[in-house]
Structure 1
Amino acid sequence: YILEKNQSRKDITFIAYSFGSLVAIELTRMLEAQGFNVKLILIDGSPAWLKTVKQQQLISESNDALETNILVGIVDMLAPTMSAELFIEFKKCKSWEEKLDILLERVPGNPLGFSVENMRNMCTCLYRRLQAMDNYDVSGVSLIKAPIVLLKSMLSMVKSLPEDYGLSE
């Protein structure tokens, strides 16, 4: 799509936020290989930043624990008084789908006004993105040439990363 829409020009700027930064970096890598000049504007996002936030916010020793932690985090936002009870229920489940069914059945009245199908898709999308971050490995790939502008919060959730969130690596 990008190539089709930009046949007459070779300069592209991507603006990406959070997880979208990974997508923008990978698109940049592909487009640079085809001769495009790319500029990146990243808002609170880099591979190292995302992995660090996940490790700090969702401490999980297994995929099963990650699933449970994600759903408990969602319950904490939607129906905090149910978190402890649903945590116990989630621990009894054998699959993501089973846990997700419990969340969708038990959280009262869908406080965000989304359909059950949309809630299911949003939860699963979040889960898959977190899995993708675990599997994302930039070691051994060539550096991109694109200049990067990093916009970040003054109050960062992550203190252990370099000023550029590891983007120069």
Structure 2
Amino acid sequence: MRRLLSALAVTSFLLTSLPAISLANSLPGFTLFSGVKGENQLPFRLDFGGNVNAWDRYRLRIPAKKMNVAAAQFVVTYPKYYKGTFDPKNIEVRVKNKKVPLSEVRWDRENRVIEIYPQEAVPAGSNVELVFSNVKNPAFGGIYYFNCSIQSPGDVPLSRYLGTWLLSIG
């Protein structure tokens, strides 16, 4: 009977811990000492685990409450010490899980900026997901701060900081 209870306890522990392991790289969760206020941390998901020197897909999410104004352009900046690569041809913007047609995606490696231009402005109050496919993660692990800002449509576009994704690689 003791062996049966022990086996049952171990099995229960393993089965309940698997979902926690699979969600390890899905949202920022609780972060101490990041230097980024909680309200400025944006949710994300690394589809293939965020392993060093491996191919991955980043799902960088922007909640509707952060999209106070329409967005004619998304600007993602990343730190100098991030040595991964991006495929501008495989970057998407999704609203309500539907692909938004893009007019252009520019990756400025030297200045560490990715600029995404939708054909039409993304409306204010939308849940947005920036999907970066075919990303080659850096060879060394770490925490990488990806900042997001948007530019509003109009004659005088205004730039607005939306938040930061704290990506953990490795």
TM superposition score category, shorter chain reference: under 0.3
TM-score of the pair, normalised by structure 2: 0.21
User: Which structure carries more helix by proportion?
Assistant: 1
Structure with greater strand percent: 2
